[in-house]
Amino acid sequence: MTSFVQVPLAAAATLVALRLAAVTPAPVPSARAASAPVVAVAPFAVPGSEKVQNFDDATGILTAKLAEKGITAKTLPPTDRLGVVALAGQICAQSGATGILVPTMRTEQAVRQRNYILTTVNYYSTHVELRLSLVRCDGSLAWTGTAVGDKDYYNANVQAGVADGITQAIGRALELYAVRTPDTAQPNATATPSAKMPTGPKVAIVPFTQIGMEPDPSLDFATEEASKRYAARGADVVVTDQADHLIATKEAPAMCARYRASSLVMGTLRWEQTPKFAGIATHAEIMLTTVDCTGKVVATQDEVGEHLHHGANFRAGVSSAIEDAFGHWAQAPLPAAKG
């Protein structure tokens, strides 16, 4: 007599699954899963600029967050952010990347006060604006997103507030990057035909405030100050319409032709304030980059300014620090274009 043993349905299913697993080969990963997207990342710190530890740390934060999203990031050596445009093809070929992420960050930190019943407390209001751009391997711009981070900090270690604001901004910028519209443009689709090179000495200053950025009176003041400084040294100066600096670099031939200029000048600004016994100390850093009419970076210069301000109008202290930064140039801020 043959005896039968009843096996519960769930147990039977488990036995079948185990036997199938023993004879079924493991699935082969798809080519798409095996090859994660690769992007090159330009560091936050620009060569020649003032050493800021938070900017070095920001590059590591960005690459780590990209890795969390399944994107392989190849960090470039110190690279001028506008210089990436002319070097895009070489960068992609050497890194195996399909695009280059270029961050441009603006930080500001103002001393504020909160008044309580028995005391007044100083705090540091920190604002970070991050502009993250994806450059194609032909140097054209595929995508740009801007995000901000804000932090009020009460400790004397003001840089901690900047670090927190940077981390916030990076996280928000990558959220925008993740949902961007897929890039369907063909290589060189946005390339501008070469224009006749002008011979005049006119300098075209592209405003510090780029398209899509938050309005900021300090950036407007820096643009005006740059224009005045060039004009005071005999240069013929024109201020262009607002533009994305990377696009302006790629389209330098057309920009030069439009404004009858022989070079383009673009700048960045960051500033921070610290309370002192005698007032509020403001530190400002200005970096100007000159691009010729082929889109090549030909010169950069970085200067810092300091100002001890008295009174509640903290913006006046920022303006004075900007003036001081420009005042350190004994000669024209950047080489005059040759005719």
What are residue 220's DSSP bridge partners? none
The residues spanned by each domain of the chain are: 36-181, 191-339
Q: Mean pLDDT score of the chain, rounded to an integer?
A: 81
What are residue 103's DSSP bridge partners? 132
pLDDT of residue 182: 81
pLDDT of residue 27: 46
Say how far apart CA 57 and CA 63 lie, in whole Å.
10
DSSP secondary structure letter of residue 285: E
Provide DSSP, 169-184: HHHHHHHHHHTSPPP-
Mean predicted confidence (pLDDT) in 172-190: 79
Provide DSSP, 180-200: SPPP-PPTTTTPPPP-PPP-S
Q: Is 78 in contact with 46 (CB distance < 8 Å)? A: yes
Dump pLDDT digits (tens) for 228-267.
988 888 889 999 999 999 999 999 999 999 999 999 999 9
Q: Please report which confidence band the pLDDT of residue 66 belongs to, taking 50, 70 and 90 as the band edges.
A: very high
CATH numeric code, 36-181: 3.40.50.10610
The residue type of 326 is F
Say how far apart CA 96 and CA 217 lie, in whole Å.
41
How remote is the C-alpha of 184 from its chain's centroid? 23
Dump pLDDT digits (tens) for 296-326.
999 888 899 988 877 667 778 889 899 999 9
- Do 36-181 and 191-339 have matching folds? yes
Evaluate whether the domain defined by 191-339 bears CATH number 1.20.20.10.
no
Poorest-pLDDT segment among 19-23, 89-93, 99-103, 179-183: 19-23
pLDDT of residue 264: 96
Tokens standing for 7? 């096996």
Bridging pattern class, strands 263-276 and 237-239:
unpaired
Percent of the chain at pLDDT > 90 equals 47
Q: Say how many residues make up the chain.
A: 339
Q: Please report which confidence band the pLDDT of residue 194 belongs to, taking 50, 70 and 90 as the band edges.
A: low
Q: Which of 121, 142, 144, 124 is nearest to 271 (CA)?
A: 124
Mean predicted confidence (pLDDT) in 131-136: 96
Q: Is 170 in contact with 148 (CB distance < 8 Å)? A: no
Q: Is 289 in contact with 79 (CB distance < 8 Å)? A: no
The residue type of 332 is A
Is residue 54 scored above 70 in pLDDT? yes
- In terms of average pLDDT, the best of 11-25, 171-185, 187-201, 238-252 is 238-252
